[in-house]
Structure 1
C-alpha cells in the first residue's frame, strides 16, 4: 500500500470587515507564536514538537489566554518543521542566513480548531469565538471530494490582503496498491 497525498487550495468568498479583522489579528498572534518558538528552539537546540511544547506551552498560554490552546500546539508543530527544514538546508550549505527566519506564515489548524460544515463552508475557532467562512469550491476540489479521496484534518489558512479573503489549503489522501510498479486504487 502506498499513500498518495494531494493539496488543493480553495478560496473563500470576500469576507466581512469583522471576520477579516478577526483573522488578521489571529494571523498576527499566530505569527508571533511561531517566531518566538523558532527563535527559542533554534537557540536552545530544541527541534521536536514535543520538546517545544514541553518547554514553552504554559508560558505561551499565560501570555495569550484568549487564544484557543490548540493554536499553541500547532504553532509548536509549525516551528519544529521550520527548524528542522532550516537545519537540513544548513547542512547542505543551502541556507541563506545564520538562523531560521519567519517571514511568511500560514495558520495551521488541527481538528479542534476547525470544522467543516458540509463541503462549502468551514468554522474556525479564533480568539473571538467561532467564525463561519464560506468557500468558493472549484472543479479540482470537487474531483477529490467525489473521487474517493479522504480529507485530512489539518488544513492551513493563508490571508489574501488584496482581496480580503482567505485561501484554505486542504490535503487529501488515498491509499493505492503498488503492483509491480503499477499503482491501482484500493477498494478499502
Structure 2
C-alpha cells in the first residue's frame, strides 16, 4: 500500500531561486517533448527519447539529465493519458517529479538534498507527528511543488509498505445516496442536519455569487468552491473511518457506474447529485480498509 506525505520545505533564498528556475525549465522541457509526441502522434518513451534527448541537452545543459528524462517520462504518460487527442501542457510552476538519482531524503535528520540547475540544494523540513508512522516505509517517488502565491516549496513523498493479509469473510453492504451519504446493511445511517444545512448553504451562496458575474464574484466563487471541497473531503474521511472500524471484513458498495448519465429528476435533484463525491468516499473506504487487512 502507498501513502503520500506532504512536507513544507525551508531553505535560503539562493536555494529557493535555484529551485524556481529548475521548476520553470522542467515544465518548459515537458512542453517541448509533449509537442513533439503530439505532432508525431506517438507516446513511446523510446522513440521520443531518441528524437529529443540530444537536442534538449544541447539547448538546456544546466538541467540535470535525470530531470530531462523525468520530464520526458511525464510528458509521454500525459500523452498516453489523453490518447493523443489533445496536446497536454504544463503551467510555468506545475509540480515536477524527482527520482532517487536526483534527490536524497534523510527523514531522521529532517533534510533532503535536491538537484537543481545550479547543483544540489539542501532543504530542511519538520515532520508532523502523524507522519511518523510512515517513516520506516520504502520511498518510491517524490514531487516538488511550488506555491507561487505564498512563495513556498512543498515536497510530496510517496512511501510504500506491504499490505496486511486480508482475513475473515463477514460482509457489510453499503449504499450511497443524496439524503443519506451512506447507508449500511447493519442499519447504520450516515447523515445529519449539519451536513444537509452546509450543503444547502453552499448551494445558495453559489447561486447568489454567480448572479453577480463580476471578477470579484468569480474570485469569491473559486474561494468558496475550495471550502466546499474541503468540507466534503473531511466528511468522507470521517464516514470512511467509522465504516472500516466496524466489525466486518468485507465491504460491498453498490455499483454507481453511469449514475450521472441516467435519467434525471429535475434541476434540484441534479444539483444535489453532482454536489457530492461518491467516488472519493469509495477510495477512502478502499485504502483505509486495506491498511486494516480488510
The reply to whether TM is greater than 0.5 is yes
CA contact (8 A) 1:123 1:132 kept: yes
Unpaired runs of at least 5, structure 1: 91-97
- Cα distance 1:151–1:140, how it changes in 2: closer, same or farther (>3 A)? farther
- Cα distance 1:142–1:42, how it changes in 2: closer, same or farther (>3 A)? same
- Cα distance 1:40–1:7, how it changes in 2: closer, same or farther (>3 A)? same
| Separation of aligned partners in 1, 2:115 and 2:69 | 14
User: Which of 43-52 and 120-129 deviates more?
Assistant: 43-52
Q: Which residue of 1 aligns with 2:128?
A: 138
CA contact (8 A) 2:4 2:157 kept: yes
Q: Which residue of 2 aligns with 1:123?
A: 113
| Separation of aligned partners in 2, 1:125 and 1:184 | 33
Q: Which residue of 2 aligns with 1:78?
A: 74
Q: Which residue of 1 aligns with 2:90?
A: 102
Q: Does 1:5 align with 2:9?
A: no
Q: Which residue of 2 aligns with 1:163?
A: 150
Could you say what secondary structure the match of 1:136 adopts?
A: coil
- Cα distance 1:110–1:179, how it changes in 2: closer, same or farther (>3 A)? same
| Separation of aligned partners in 2, 1:71 and 1:159 | 16
Unpaired runs of at least 5, structure 2: 170-248, 250-289
Deviation readout 1:57-88 (Å, 9 max, x if unpaired): 11111111122111111011110121112228
Could you say what secondary structure the match of 1:172 adopts?
A: strand
Q: Which residue of 2 aligns with 1:18?
A: 14
TM-score (norm. length: structure 1):
0.81
Q: How much has 1:117 moved relative to structure 2?
A: 3.0
| Separation of aligned partners in 1, 2:291 and 2:9 | 34
TM-score (norm. length: structure 2):
0.53
Deviation readout 1:16-47 (Å, 9 max, x if unpaired): 22111111111111110001111111111221
Q: Does 1:112 align with 2:109?
A: no
| Separation of aligned partners in 2, 1:164 and 1:59 | 32
| Separation of aligned partners in 2, 1:141 and 1:87 | 37
Q: How much has 1:185 moved relative to structure 2?
A: 7.8
Q: Which residue of 1 aligns with 2:242?
A: none
- Cα distance 1:118–1:43, how it changes in 2: closer, same or farther (>3 A)? same
Task: Write the mapping of 1:28-43 to structure 2, written as runs, cut at 5 A.
Answer: 28-43=24-39
Q: How much has 1:179 moved relative to structure 2?
A: 4.4
Please report the RMSD computed on the Cα atoms of aligned residues, expressed in angstroms.
2.3
- Cα distance 1:180–1:109, how it changes in 2: closer, same or farther (>3 A)? same
CA contact (8 A) 1:12 1:134 kept: yes
| Separation of aligned partners in 1, 2:167 and 2:34 | 42
Could you say what secondary structure the match of 1:78 adopts?
A: helix
Q: How much has 1:164 moved relative to structure 2?
A: 2.7
Higher RCO structure, 1 or 2 (CA under 8 Å, sep 6+): 1
CA contact (8 A) 2:19 2:117 kept: no
